[in-house]
Amino acid sequence: VKRSCITSPSGFPTMVAKTVAVLAGDGIGPEVMSEAMKVLKKIAELYGHDFTFDEANIGGAAWAAAEAAGKPPSHFPTETCTTCEKSDAILFGSVGGPVDQQHEPRWKDCEKNALLGLRKRFGLGTNLRPSKVYPFLSHLCPLKPSVIGAGVDMLIIRELVGGIYFGEHKREGDKAWDIMEYDVARIKKPVIFAFEAARLRNKKVCVVDKANVLETSRLWREVAREVAKDFPDVALEFMYVDNAAMQIIQKPSYFDVIATENMFGDILSDAASVLPGSLGLMPSASLGDGLHMYEPSGGSAPDIAGQGKANPIAQILSGAMMLRYSFNLEAEAAAIETAVEQTLQAGILTADLLEEANRGSARSTSEIGDAVIAALKGP
């Protein structure tokens, strides 16, 4: 485990000391993680915080490291788990190898073992996926300018460990069934978080369900109405999932925070993820019982790994989400988001954000990180 520590200058009354488990992983993971850490170190310097970064292996990188050391290989080693247990948050890169090598032990079930291992160990039961269309990159959005003219900035909060995916799955003869099941406690966590998140945003929560058909959806509504009593400043509304799917395409500007169950959230967050125009702009978070994990929405992209072509913005914005939701550092998170926006607006872009004819002017992974740091403002 490598450790690096940023010590705060004296004289800052609100110094925060936190330890971050850094799991860069495979493919482009290490190079985009390097930029995110650069940005977080600059934030520590500007705002007088003390961030310790504990780096540990995950996925194929963990498997290869164990083999090289003559140890039994694993995609989620015990020492990595221990590093996470001792930390205040997990910053995760990506795992997985080339498609034509999936049969090799290093890559077989790599994503499943690493991600489900983390999810299970730390109870990562609530998923957050923001979807934001930057006005100056609106040409990358598949929707017409008239549809996205009012701006798109939504946060989808999905319950991750319940519902039909985790119910009983059974087949008997020519009949099959899958059970969708929820209890109040499992619903309450993502719903409370949705209200808390909305307070930091535009104070609107939309619970998406199918309450005209499903009893579980009617329970979601009951829980949401109960939770809403503690958040009188936040507006609550309900929308059927079929209508929500249409509105995300027809009127995406309408939404602020969406809260929903596992399968509906899986589908809606994927639909919303195409709106920004590149997965390289999409951070995400998985919230646990005491520890949260932050990661880009895209994969390990082994085809461009090590070439300096990867877009680090999603990883950098995942770091901003960590500051906001794990460390309660709203000003610092906003500072990163503003710096990212200024960088993109200045036309400092990786190839995935450029039309094919303009890709000759694409900037490298590290140039994007440097530009974000140059744009960062302190308190």
CA-wise closest residue to 296 among 117, 65, 35, 48: 35
Residues annotated catalytic, as ranges: 165, 210, 242, 266, 270
What Rg value do the Cα atoms of the chain yield, rounded?
Answer: 21
> Where do we find the tokens 């994990």?
293
Question: Is the separation of the CB atoms in 8 and 63 below 8 Å?
Answer: no
CA-wise closest residue to 342 among 144, 147, 137: 137
> Where do we find the tokens 């140039």?
367
Residue 129 Cα distances to 76, 258, 268, angstroms: 24, 10, 10
Residue 35 Cα distances to 8, 41, 312, angstroms: 20, 10, 7
326's CB contacts (< 8 A; 6+ apart) are: 18, 88, 89, 292, 294
